[in-house]
Amino acid sequence: MRYLITFSYDGSKYNGYQKQPTGSTIQGKLEDVLELISGTKVGVVASGRTDALVHALNQKAHFDLDMDISCEKLIKAFNGLLPKDIYVKDCVVVNSSFHARYSVKSKEYMYVINTGEYNPIMKDYVFQYNRRLDLGVMREALKYFCGVHDFRSFTAGSDVRDNYEREIFKADIEVYGDIVIISFLGTGFMRYMVRNMVGTLIDISEGKFLPSDLSIMFGACDRKSAGRCAPACGLYLKDVLYI
């Protein structure tokens, strides 16, 4: 039987989602629990990986179990056995043809910035920029990201693939006092893509680029043409949508 879980996690103490030969990962913790539940090794397939120090509010993953267990019992078992910085919010049975990664229609990420006084308590969860941003020019620049583009200039140089084209449906900035949240909804996001877009927006706020320079960056298809990479701590996978 194939199950789909929705779960959140604090990524600040993990080497990312994807299981690795060394270091603690979210996938590793989930699979350890499933082995305890089922008595056999079970692979967990997520909607995509998140890097070290990145958080998730509604990550999705599927797995197959050859046993009769209800979703309610699975949720209870997960949350009783997982570390307290990982929490399973929902579980449903899905068709065997469903795939947590390949069935995705869109994803939403958000990036959180503190423009006020440095907050040591939130240092692992918010980018401590600690000075004002030019939100007007950043909002103007955000418009350039919307639509279908080749995002090679905003993708990690190590992320080599045949197709860098993605579509951003919506990009927005919300302000709550000193906290600025930048969000992107799109068909998919490559490694460091959101962090590089946010870093470039910050560089535009500082006057290092003009909003119109984004058109040049897209055309260059070269990571060196764009701005900085924002720190991982401010990035959250907000949601994964299948319809």
- What is the distance between the alpha carbons of residues 219 and 197, in angstroms, rounded to a whole number? 15
CA quadruple 193, 196, 200, 201: dihedral sign: positive
112 forms bridges with which residues in the sheet? 181
- What is the distance between the alpha carbons of residues 226 and 201, in angstroms, rounded to a whole number? 10
Torsion of CA 30, 41, 98, 76, to 10 degrees: -40
DSSP of 75-120: HHHHHHHS-TTEEEEEEEEE-TT--TTTT--EEEEEEEEE-SS--G
Two tokens, residue 88: 């399973």
- What is the distance between the alpha carbons of residues 106 and 94, in angstroms, rounded to a whole number? 18
Write out the catalytic residue numbers.
51
Do residues 91 and 34 touch, judged by C-beta distance below 8 A? no
